[in-house]
Amino acid sequence: MLRVTIIGAGVSGLACAIRLQELSKEKNLPLELNLLDAGPKPGGTLTTLEQDGFVMEEGPDCFITEKPAALEMSKKLGLEGELIRTNPALKQSFILKGTRLYPIPEGFYMLAPSRLMPLMTTPLLSPLGKLRAALEPFVKVRRDPQDESVGDFVRRRLGREVLEALAQPLVGGVYNAYPDDLSVNACVPRFKDMELKYGSLLKAMAAQRLRSQNQVSGARYSLFVSFKKGMQTLAAAMAAQIPAESLWLDSPVQALKPSDHGTWEVTAQGRAQEADVVVLAIQPAKMQPLIGGLDKEWEKLLSAVPAHDSATLNLGFRRQDLGHPLDGFGFVVPAKEKKLIVGCTFASRKFEGRAPGDNVLLRGFLGAEAVKEIKTQGENTVMEKILEELTPILGLKGHPIVHHWASYESSMSYFRPGHLSQAIRLEQKASETKGLYLAGNGLKGVGVPDAIAAGQSAAEKIFSSK
Ligand SMILES: Cc1cc2nc3c(=O)[nH]c(=O)nc-3n(C[C@H](O)[C@H](O)[C@H](O)COP(=O)(O)OP(=O)(O)OC[C@H]3O[C@@H](n4cnc5c(N)ncnc54)[C@H](O)[C@@H]3O)c2cc1C
């Protein structure tokens, strides 16, 4: 009998548990599984709230289909019929400048353009900024294998303005961190590959655009998908695979100690449990108090993968109370605009079924700075400030008819320059520690598919030695 305790029942811990159960059957090795979570429900950040016909996402509102793990999991759980695509009638998202929303220049993806003309005509850049970006193909290739920050990379190739007006809000929105704190090799490796292979991001992106134009279209899924009833559909279906006696909710693990006979003692709610194997399916920042004290290197490696706080604010309005046509998926806000809100999704435009009748649902995303304000001034004050921010941008004429806050402590790991070698060492360190495995979103990627893949990979490793 193999006794496995998983700490964290987010999608990573759930995926690990599901794969462990499958492997236990395949290999005919009995398993005693305990999945512990600090919170009252499984699924971690995947929570959807239905209120007055509004379907509000507290955490992630979709996942990317290019990385297969979440899509494959959905299919395996029979959720294919529940999947919904992003609104095919909408083609754009916006960036805020002042109080106006400007479309992201066509063909601009994350931090580089595939077409020069839309970049040359956007009001988001000055003539000098445009000239600097147009010189990108002539910028010398950096072949130094040493990692660099996303900020340095974009400044070097496309100039400061492209970084501040476009790349910072787009990349920053995904990682909830500033580009100068993010690793190129870990966060946007394909752009580094483009520089090395093509000598220019513009040339590489243009070649990629031509290739995709020549491909027969008709992909089955859009790049991002969700579920008719929201992302909790996935979390609930995954949790339904775990026997009730294995799932321990409201059970924050307070201590984790190796025992003298090669097992682990897991303490939750003052009660100690013994396990042969422990999987930490939580952010490295949250592993720190549990295993950071094992030795100095653990402490150093775990503190090298920080995580910021974040919050979301769902706002349901009557359509007539908004002056903007909401003709896109939403907008992101450059840091230089100094707003509380980092991004705003036009949720009921992005996915169908999110708002009842003639109403609309917006969802604001807030970073660590705003969370600090919530803590000191309270949600109501911060909401009023956000509504003030949104009023000139979206032409708000009234108060929301529904609103809902959610906040997350250290839930979004981000990858600093040098992350890849740190992550490799972290995994090595875990493999040198008997019965200890790592999962979650702090190792290889920060999205839902990455977290699922990390959980599955931990399960495979546990059984590979059996
Ligand atoms: C606001 C927000 C929006 C996001 N948007 C997207 C998006 O649109 N698309 C996308 O792909 N990704 C998005 N992400 C990222 C994505 O949600 C996460 O990467 C993914 O869900 C992480 O899953 P996880 O299981 O690793 O961690 P989590 O979901 O954080 O789950 C970890 C679980 O561990 C529990 N836990 C923590 N410490 C302990 C302890 N000591 N003892 C017991 N239990 C513990 C927590 O209660 C939690 O339930 C978003 C994240 C946030 C916060």
Residues 172 and 258 in one domain: no
Torsion 219-222-226-229 (CA) sign: negative
For ligand 1, the distance from its centroid to the CA atom of residue 196, given in whole angstroms, is 34
**Is 25 within the bounds of a domain?**
yes
Which of the listed residues 377, 395, 413 is the one where a domain comes to its end? 413
- Ligand 1 atom with the shortest distance to the CA of 408: 53
Cα separations in angstroms, 171 against 144, 165, 180, 433: 23, 11, 11, 35
Same domain, yes or no: 377 and 422: no
Residue 128 sits in the same domain as residue 186: yes
DSSP class of residue 104 equals: P
Residues touching ligand 1 (Cβ under 6 Å) are 7-13, 36-39, 44-46, 59-63, 252-253, 281-282, 286, 310, 312, 408, 411-412, 440-441, 446-448, 451
Tokens 């193999």, residue?
A: 2
* Residues 138, 88: Cα–Cα separation, whole Å: 37
Cβ neighbour number for residue 332 with a 10 Å cutoff: 25
Q: Are residues 423 and 300 in the same domain?
A: yes
Domain end (from 214, 234, 255): 214
Distance 411 CA to ligand 1 centre (A): 6
Asked if residue 347 and residue 437 are part of one domain, the reply reads no
* Domains of the chain: total: 3
- Residues 370 and 332 occupy one common structural domain: yes
CA gyration radius for the chain? 23
Structure tokens at 451: 């977290």
* Residue 393 to residue 381: CA distance in whole angstroms: 19
- For residue 312, which atom of ligand 1 is closest to its CA? 1
Write out the chain's pLDDT in tens, 466 residues.
999 999 999 999 999 999 999 999 999 999 999 999 999 999 999 999 999 999 999 999 999 999 999 999 999 999 999 999 999 999 899 999 999 999 999 999 999 999 999 999 999 999 999 999 999 999 999 999 999 999 999 999 999 999 999 999 999 888 899 999 999 999 999 999 999 999 999 999 989 887 877 655 556 788 899 999 999 999 999 999 999 999 999 999 999 999 988 999 999 988 999 999 999 999 999 999 999 999 999 999 999 999 999 999 999 999 999 999 999 999 999 999 999 999 999 999 999 999 999 999 999 999 999 999 999 999 999 999 999 999 999 999 989 999 999 999 998 999 999 999 999 999 999 999 999 999 999 998 999 999 999 999 999 999 997 7
Report the CATH number at residue 119. 1.10.3110.10
Name the pTM for this structure.
0.96
> Is residue 95 included in any domain, yes or no?
no
> Mutation test of ligand 1: which of 6, 34, 45, 269 has the most ligand atoms closer than 8 Å to its C-beta?
45
Domain assignment of residue 235, yes or no: no
The verdict on 54 and 17 lying in the same domain is: no
Atom of ligand 1 nearest to the CA of 450: 19
Place of tokens 């752009």: 191
Ligand 1 closest atom vs CA 253 = 42
Does residue 194 share a domain with residue 115?
Answer: yes
In a domain, 224, yes or no: no
Nearest CA to ligand 1 atom 52: 59
Q: Please report the pLDDT score of residue 362 as a whole number.
A: 98
C-alpha 409 – ligand 1 centre gap (Å) = 10
Residues 331 and 362 in one domain: yes
Which of 46, 282, 407 to probe ligand 1 with, by most ligand atoms within 8 A of CB?
282
Residues 365, 375: one domain?
Answer: yes
- Residue 311 CA: nearest ligand 1 atom is 1
CATH number of the domain bearing residue 26: 3.50.50.60
Distance 12 CA to ligand 1 centre (A): 8
Pocket perturbation via mutation, ligand 1, pick of 310, 411, 412 by most ligand atoms within 8 A of CB: 411
Q: How far is the CA of 448 from the centre of ligand 1 (A)?
A: 8
Is residue 300 domain-shared with residue 424, that is, in the same domain? yes
Provide the token pair at 455: 């959980």
* Residue 436 covered by a domain: yes
Instruction: Please indicate, yes or no, if residue 133 is contained in any of the structural domains.
Output: yes
The amino acid occupying position 90 is: L
Instruction: Output the residue whose Cα is nearest ligand 1's atom 29.
Output: 44
Q: Buried b / exposed e across 440-460, counting CB within 10 Å, b at 16+?
A: bbbbbbbbbbbbbbbbbbbbe
Residue nearest to atom 41 of ligand 1 (CA): 253
Nearest protein Cα to ligand 1, atom 13:
60
**Does residue 317 share a domain with residue 302?**
no
Domain span at 167: 103-214
How far, in Å, is the centroid of ligand 1 from the Cα of 326? 29
Q: Which atom of ligand 1 is nearest to the CA of 446?
A: 19
